A and B are shown apart, each in its own frame.
Chain A
Amino acid sequence: MAAPRDSQSTRSPEPMAAVAASAAGAGTRAPAALALRVVAECGRSKARACELRLPHGTVATPVFMPVGTQGTMKGVTAAQLDSLGCTICLGNTYHLGMRPGPELIQKAGGLHGFMNWNQNLLTDSGGFQMVSLLALSEVTEEGVRFRSPYDGTEILLSPEKSVEIQNALGSDIMMQLDDVVSSTLTGSRVEEAMHRSIRWLDRCISANRRPDRQNLFAIIQGGLDPVLRSKCLEEMTKRDVPGFAIGGLSGGESKEQFWKMVTLSTDRLPREKPRYLMGVGYATDLVVCVALGCDMFDCVFPTRTARFGSALVPTGNLQLKKKQFAKDFRPIDEACTCPTCQRHTRAFLHALLHSNNTTALHHVTVHNIAYQLQLMDAIRTSIVEHRFPDFVRDFMKTMYGELRRCPAWAMEALESVGIPLN
């Protein structure tokens, strides 16, 4: 994919004409709504630092995308997210598609207008939520049939319907509807789901009414079977999509199997298109998967764990409700620049967490999001400055006390891409 002419980041809601002209070639297809520029590569591992230009601005990768449910980051406003330096976050198609519904969202100016968020949004297809939240869902070639918990009506979420909802939401990146199966499942169901996901990808591509403004990403399936996954990669990379997600992982599978599927996927995905690893958010996992060549990540973990009073730090996490923090007058993290750490001590947060004032949870949520964003920033800078392998070693030392205490799977994964830890 051709690089944009100017290297300064712009925040324009218009499709990038310069990119469109060069990417569209002979004018046979719609102008592109996405452009990836590789700024730096690690040289040893598969890590790379890029600039991802999207309709609502440029995103620096590797990037962690905070997850919002029902149109807001629980406890955090769009303005707060903006001031934390977030340039892309997730909107939830399932919840928003059902309540308040696509017509209403469109009336409100799309999801951007509804959330009052001016930067990039990525929406999921709605499929994953449904399968995991609803017991009564049935998958057929048509789509996923389920019962709405809000008013009991039966709904069919087809590839077409999913894209219709996401078109109404107006997200910058949309995900195809895929046939999701648990990563711990084996057998013919996994193969069936993989093939169906390819067919549904084609249906989603056809159904996208706004390819010039909304990017449809494919989701690579195939479970933990290298043969199936390779087949899926082979087929899906034949399709002209602006980006690829690596799906079907971050479920209950072992980390050994997990990293092998990630690296197999990145080996077979095109260099010039972004790689989005879905559902990964633990710090160690982020660092390793960047080394394996992934650019984009999302996970509910940081925001979810915040709501239990758990604050993320370079050495792991602090369970702030515990007695040991009652008289600890330090901020959560001395080096953190987030509003919570600038103004509040662990002792105060501890006291507040034991009250019924929800503000405590908001403080920790803000910090955890900041932690993730600052981590990705540090990763990216180290890649750009050609010292990513050293960064990885320092990170692991801080997290695990000493390098040899780093989990075995992570050591193997890093070793496989030229970053030995001993």
Chain B
Amino acid sequence: MKLSLFKVAQGCRLGTLNNLGRKGDRTMEFPGCLLYTRTGSAPHLTHDTLRVISRVPVMTQLTLSSLAEHCEVLEEYKEGIGKFIGMPESMFYCSLHDPVNPCPAGYVTNKSVSVWGVGGRLEMTAAKFMSVQQALQPDWFQCLSDGEALCGEVFSTKRARKSVDRSLAFLDECLKLQEQSEVLRNCVMIGVIEGGDTLEERLRSARETAKRPVGGFLLDGFHGDAMTKETRLQLISSVTAELPEDKPRLICGIGQPDEVLECIEAGVDLFESFFPYQVTERGCALSFSFDYQPNPEDTVLQQNGEKEEGEIGDHIDKVTTTKRVPETSFEINLKEKKRRRDSDSS
């Protein structure tokens, strides 16, 4: 893999990753995103319906949580996950968790990290983790890591420190195992930056991880509501400043357009594309102009909206959450009565 950086402007990086893939002949542009899948398939879309979309990302995101339980099948199949899921032409990045379904906290030990599949909890030691990757044969994979830095709802420096220590230990162990496997030596390991909301820990994680022979970096733990926007962006900028220029920076759990733009300004290259799936699931369609102007009023409306819903919404539909639909300013709610007679296609 070779990273070519064309330009850096106001913190944003523009470039391409070359010599990717089995044959070393594929290219990926950044900033860019990966195709989100669930159990190896784009949600609701077959190859034919997916193909209708122009510019599907060249790299597909698989989640270990959805595929680990099929390890035995894949070992017998022998031909790798790409062929198994019917996407032999794609490149693959395997993340540890699914960004849409947060897993319960408290299942990380010094020896293992748990992932949650359909059949329940699967404990991944470094050895088990690497054997699953061996069966998957992805192009890139997120190294086994401890992504928990919270104690309940709040960040804990002590817990953050432990997550950095553990992740580095897992990294070293996995690198050793990678060396011993011919198959895995062809895969690129992505090192994971942890550290919660503590600058010191974040910097330590970044510097230490950068010392290892990883092919890229994943900035973990910046999603969710536990961190303020300011803290998040400051930390991301600080982290990316410590990372080598010539390796890609991925971030997980960030999908909303405005947040994506902010992270690009903070030095991130690649993103997940689960946001369209989330919007779909609440019956909304993405509809926004690319003329980005942050609207402080919208944010306030969203926060207040949750209170109103509680009064009116309760007796209407007990199954859905009390969140407002549409949830963001980037979408329209197709179930709204006003859409019934809407014959415009945009």
Same assembly: yes
Q: Which residue of A lies closest to B42 (CB)?
A: A359
A238 within 8 A of B: no
Q: Which residue of B lies closest to A360 (CB)?
A: B41
Name the one of A339, A351, A357, A366 contacting B70, with C-beta atoms under 8 angstroms. A351
Main secondary structure of the interface of B (DSSP, over half): loop
The answer to whether A326 touches B73, judged by C-beta atoms less than 8 angstroms apart, is yes
B27 within 8 A of A: no
Query: With the chains together, A38 CA to B127 CA distance in Å?
Result: 69
The answer to whether B39 touches A352, judged by C-beta atoms less than 8 angstroms apart, is yes
Name A46-90 residues within 8 Å CB distance of B: 77, 79-80, 83
Chain B hits for A358, CB < 8 A? 43-44
The answer to whether B41 touches A359, judged by C-beta atoms less than 8 angstroms apart, is yes
Per-residue B-contact encoding for A94-132, CB less than 8 Å = 1, 0 else? 000000100010011000000000000000000000000
A–B Cβ pairs within 8 angstroms, 8 of them: A79-B52, A327-B73, A329-B77, A348-B84, A348-B86, A355-B38, A356-B38, A358-B43
Q: Which residue of B lies closest to A104 (CB)?
A: B341
A229 within 8 A of B: no
Query: With the chains together, A329 CA to B47 CA distance in Å?
Result: 19
The answer to whether B343 touches A107, judged by C-beta atoms less than 8 angstroms apart, is yes
B316 within 8 A of A: no
Interface residues of B (CB under 8 A from A): 38-49, 52, 66, 70, 73, 76-77, 84-86, 118, 340-341, 343
Q: Which residue of B lies closest to A343 (CB)?
A: B86
Instruction: Beyond A329-B77, A351-B73, A357-B38, list 6 extra A-B contacts (CB 8 Å).
Output: A77-B49, A100-B340, A327-B73, A352-B41, A358-B43, A358-B44
Q: With a 10 A CB-CB cut-off, give which of B38, B41, B45, B47 has the most chain A CB atoms.
A: B41
A380 within 8 A of B: no
Query: With the chains together, A7 CA to B47 CA distance in Å?
Result: 36
Query: With the chains together, A25 CA to B44 CA distance in Å?
Result: 53
Q: Which residue of B lies closest to A101 (CB)?
A: B340
Shortest beta-carbon distance from A82 to chain B in Å: 11
Chain A hits for B52, CB < 8 A? 79
- A to B contact number (C-beta, < 8 Å): 66
A213 within 8 A of B: no
A404 within 8 A of B: no
Shortest beta-carbon distance from A78 to chain B in Å: 11
A326-B73, A343-B86 given as contacts; is B46 within 8 A of A363 (CB)? yes
Chain B hits for A100, CB < 8 A? 340
Chain A hits for B40, CB < 8 A? 348, 351-352
A381 within 8 A of B: no
The answer to whether A355 touches B48, judged by C-beta atoms less than 8 angstroms apart, is no
Chain A hits for B46, CB < 8 A? 339-340, 359, 362-363, 366
A355-B38, A355-B66, A362-B44 given as contacts; is B84 within 8 A of A327 (CB)? no
Query: With the chains together, A344 CA to B49 CA distance in Å?
Result: 15
Closest 8 CB pairs of A and B: A355-B39, A343-B86, A357-B38, A359-B41, A344-B86, A358-B44, A351-B70, A357-B39
A257 within 8 A of B: no
Shortest beta-carbon distance from B101 to chain A in Å: 9
Query: With the chains together, A329 CA to B74 CA distance in Å?
Result: 10
Per-residue B-contact encoding for A380-406, CB less than 8 Å = 1, 0 else? 000000000000000000000000000
Query: With the chains together, A357 CA to B46 CA distance in Å?
Result: 11
A345 within 8 A of B: yes
The answer to whether A80 touches B49, judged by C-beta atoms less than 8 angstroms apart, is yes
Per-residue B-contact encoding for A205-217, CB less than 8 Å = 1, 0 else? 0000000000000
Q: Which residue of B lies closest to A326 (CB)?
A: B73
Q: With a 10 A CB-CB cut-off, give which of B73, B77, B341 has the most chain A CB atoms.
A: B73
Query: With the chains together, A207 CA to B73 CA distance in Å?
Result: 61
Shortest beta-carbon distance from A415 to chain B in Å: 43
Name the one of B43, B49, B73 contacting A357, with C-beta atoms under 8 angstroms. B43
Q: Which residue of A lies closest to B47 (CB)?
A: A343
Query: With the chains together, A100 CA to B343 CA distance in Å?
Result: 12
The answer to whether B343 touches A351, judged by C-beta atoms less than 8 angstroms apart, is no
Chain B hits for A107, CB < 8 A? 341, 343
Chain A hits for B41, CB < 8 A? 352, 357, 359-360
Query: With the chains together, A83 CA to B46 CA distance in Å?
Result: 14
Q: Which residue of B lies closest to A354 (CB)?
A: B118
The answer to whether B48 touches A83, judged by C-beta atoms less than 8 angstroms apart, is yes
Query: With the chains together, A162 CA to B236 CA distance in Å?
Result: 63
Shortest beta-carbon distance from B236 to chain A in Å: 31
Shortest beta-carbon distance from A147 to chain B in Å: 21
Shortest beta-carbon distance from B319 to chain A in Å: 16
Name A335-386 residues within 8 Å CB distance of B: 339-340, 343-345, 347-348, 351-352, 354-360, 362-363, 366
Chain A hits for B42, CB < 8 A? 359
Query: With the chains together, A161 CA to B39 CA distance in Å?
Result: 48
Per-residue B-contact encoding for A304-331, CB less than 8 Å = 1, 0 else? 0000000000000000000000110100
The answer to whether A355 touches B49, judged by C-beta atoms less than 8 angstroms apart, is no
Query: With the chains together, A347 CA to B78 CA distance in Å?
Result: 13
Query: With the chains together, A363 CA to B38 CA distance in Å?
Result: 15
Query: With the chains together, A162 CA to B77 CA distance in Å?
Result: 55
Shortest beta-carbon distance from B40 to chain A in Å: 7
Chain B hits for A345, CB < 8 A? 84
A100-B340, A329-B77, A359-B44 given as contacts; is B39 within 8 A of A351 (CB)? yes
Chain A hits for B76, CB < 8 A? 327
Chain B hits for A354, CB < 8 A? 118
Query: With the chains together, A363 CA to B42 CA distance in Å?
Result: 12
Chain A hits for B49, CB < 8 A? 77, 80, 362
The answer to whether B341 touches A355, judged by C-beta atoms less than 8 angstroms apart, is no
Q: Which residue of A lies closest to B77 (CB)?
A: A329
Shortest beta-carbon distance from B82 to chain A in Å: 11
The answer to whether B70 touches A359, judged by C-beta atoms less than 8 angstroms apart, is no
Q: Which residue of A lies closest to B75 (CB)?
A: A327
Shortest beta-carbon distance from B72 to chain A in Å: 8
Name A116-167 residues within 8 Å CB distance of B: none
Chain B hits for A348, CB < 8 A? 40, 84-86
A108-B343, A351-B39 given as contacts; is B84 within 8 A of A357 (CB)? no
Q: With a 10 A CB-CB cut-off, give which of A77, A100, A355 has the most chain B CB atoms.
A: A355
Query: With the chains together, A225 CA to B38 CA distance in Å?
Result: 54
Query: With the chains together, A294 CA to B39 CA distance in Å?
Result: 43
The answer to whether A80 touches B86, judged by C-beta atoms less than 8 angstroms apart, is no
